[in-house]
Chain A
C-alpha cells in the first residue's frame, strides 16, 4: 500500500523559502514588510477618520467601514459609466461622502451625542445595516471589480517588487494623512476641532460653534475613509458587506493607537498592516485576521488606553 506523502502546508513552504539562503530570506522579509505597509496605509486612513470622529464627538462610529464601501463603489461607477480613472475620482468621492457624512451627522448622530452608549451603538449599527442593504439593493450582492490597464503593473526596485496601484494608494494615503494633520494643527478650524475634542464646554465658552465642528468632523472623517475605498478600487474586489471587515480593523487600529489620537491611529494602521502581512505569510491568508484580533484582545485586556495613552482608566 503506497504511503501518503507527508502533508506540506504553507508553513513548510515558508520554511523552505526562508532556508534557501540569507539574501532570499531578507528579501522575503522586506517584501512582506512592504506589502504590509501598503495595506497598512489604507488601514491608517480609515482609522484616522474613525479616531477623528471619536476624538471630537466621543462616539464609536460602527458604520465607519460603510463609507469605505461607498467610496469604492463611487470609484467603480465613475470608471464604468464615465471612464474616469479611479485615482481621478478621489475629489468626487471626497465631496459626495463629505456631504453624506454631514447629512448623517445632522440627521442622526447629532440626536444621540449625549445618549447612553447602547443607543449610540444601536443607531450606528442600524445605519451600517441600512447602508449595506441599500448598496445590495442598488448594486447587487455579487462581487464586482474594476479592470484598469495598470492592474498588474509592477516596479522592481532594490530586488523588491512594488505593485503600481498599491504604491500609488499608499503614497496617496500618506499625503492625505499629512494634509489632514497639517489642517488639524495649523488652521483655525482644525484648532477648533482639537479644542472641542479636549473640552466640549470650554470650546463652547470660547465661542466655537460646536454643532458646526461636529458636522465638519463627521464629514471629514467619513470622506477620508471614503478615499480609502477609492484607493482600494483598482486592485480590490468589492461587495456591499466589505465595510464591516474594515470597521473591525479600524476598531483594532484605533484602540491600539489610543482612541482619539491622530498619530496613534496612523502608526497603528501600519503596525496592523505589517502584522497581518507576516501572519498571512507564515500562517496562511485565512489566519491573518488572527494577528490583528490577537493584538486587539491583548491591547484591550492589558492596555486599553492604547500605545499612546496616558494612564487614566
Chain B
C-alpha cells in the first residue's frame, strides 16, 4: 500500500515535468501538434460515413506525406527542386507496373517505387552537382527533366504509352490493396504519414539534419566548416525522392489510374507538392501536415460554396494561397503559431 502510494507520488511529478518538457520545446511541441491532429483524423471514420469526405481526408493525408518529402529537400536543404512530381510519378508507375505485369503486391511495390525514385533523385543530384547548377538553373533543370520524362512515358509502350496505366478493381483483396470501403486506405495513409513525420523529426534532430540546415542557410559557410555539401545535398534529394516515390505508389493505389500528360504536369505539381508545405511553413516540422489540412479541404469547400460546375476553382485557391503566404506569412501557418507560442511561453517563464 505504502509502496504504491510512493510510486504514484513519484509518477505524478515526473509526468507533469515530462509534459512541460514537451510543451516548452518548440520542436517537440510541433510534433505534439502533429500527433494530436493525426489522432483526431484517426477518429474521423467513427463520425464520417460519406466516402466523399473520407476521400478528401485520404487525399489530404497523401498530400501531407508528399509534403514531408518535399519539405526535406526544399525546406531543410533549401534546394529549388520544383518539379518533385517526377519522383512521385516514378513511384506510381513502378507500383502499377509491378502489380499489373509481375503480380507483385503493392505492399512491396511502393517501396520498390521509392527505391527507383531515389535512384532518379541521386542521378539528378549527381548531374546537377557535376555541372554546378544552383538555384534558378537547378529549378529549370528539374522542370526540363519533368517535360522530358512526360515525353518518354508517352512514347513508352511498355508502361501504356499516352493512354497510361490502370488496374481493374476486382474483389477486395488485402494483398492487392483493394478494399471494399475507404477506411483501410485512411489508416494505411495515416500510418505512412505518422512514419514520415517521425522520420522527418529524426532527420531534423540528427547530425545530418544540422548539415542540411547549414547548407540551406549558407552553403559556402557550411562547406568552409567542413560539411561535405555535395554528399548531403545528394542525400537529402535521395531521401525526399524516396518518400515522394512511396507517396506516389500509395496515390496510385488510391486513384487507380495514371496518365503521363496529367501526372507530369506543373499544375498538379503545385497542388500536390508545393502548396501544402509552403502555406504550412516550409522547413518546419508541422508545416507539411498543417498545410495539407488547409490545401485540399479548402479547395473543396470553396468549390462546394460556389456550387458551380465550373473548373479552375481549385487553381484559384492554390494560386491565392501561394501568393498570400509569400507576401504576408513568410513562414506560413506554423510561423503564425510560433509567434503566439513564443509569447505564451515567455509569459509562462516570467510568471514562474
Contact = CB atoms under 8 A, between A and B. Distances in A.
Interface string B140-164: 1101110110010011000000100
Interface string B259-297: 000000111001000100010001000000000000000
Contacts of B315: 129-130, 132-133, 136
A125 B270 contact: yes
Interface stretch (B57-65, B129-137, B220-228, B247-255): B129-137
Contact of B312 (A132, A286, A297): A132
Given A108-B327, A118-B74, A255-B140, A244 B267 contact: yes
B327 A123 contact: yes
Contacts of B139: 60, 117, 121
B310 A126 contact: no
B74 A111 contact: no
A110 to B, nearest CB: 10
A289 to B, nearest CB: 6
Given A141-B312, A286-B155, A304 B137 contact: yes
B151 A300 contact: no
B319 A118 contact: no
Interface string B117-140: 000000000010001110111011
A248 B147 contact: yes
Nearest to B74: A118
Contacts of B133: 300-301, 304
A44 interface: no
A128 B154 contact: no
A171 interface: no
A127 B132 CA distance: 29
Nearest to A123: B326
Contact of A241 (B127, B154, B267): B267
A129 B311 contact: no
Interface string B208-226: 0000000000000000000
B320 A126 contact: yes
A284 B317 CA distance: 37
Nearest to A289: B151
B326 A119 contact: yes
B312 A111 contact: no
Interface residues of B, number: 48
A130 B310 contact: no
A303 B322 CA distance: 33
A119 B278 CA distance: 10
Contacts of A252: 144
Nearest to B282: A118
B80 interface: yes
A260 to B, nearest CB: 12
Contacts of A248: 143-144, 147
B266 A244 contact: yes
B148 A290 contact: yes
Interface string A26-47: 0000000000000000000000
A234 interface: no
B318 interface: yes
Nearest to A301: B131
B166 interface: no
Nearest to B75: A118
Given A123-B326, A126-B326, A140-B310, A132 B147 contact: no
Contact of A129 (B136, B282, B319): B319
Interface in A146-189: none
B316 A122 contact: no
B126 to A, nearest CB: 12
Contacts of A60: 136, 139-140
A130 B148 CA distance: 25
A251 B323 contact: no
Nearest to B82: A121
26 contacts: A60-B136, A117-B80, A117-B135, A117-B136, A117-B139, A122-B325, A123-B326, A126-B318, A128-B319, A130-B319, A133-B315, A136-B310, A136-B312, A138-B312, A240-B312, A251-B140, A255-B137, A255-B140, A286-B154, A286-B162, A287-B155, A293-B144, A297-B141, A301-B131, A304-B132, A313-B132
10 nearest interchain CB pairs? A126-B322, A130-B319, A136-B312, A133-B315, A129-B319, A133-B316, A137-B312, A133-B312, A123-B326, A301-B131
Interface of B: 74, 78, 80, 82, 127, 131-133, 135-137, 139-141, 143-145, 147-148, 151, 154-155, 162, 265-267, 270, 274, 278, 282, 310-323, 325-327, 330
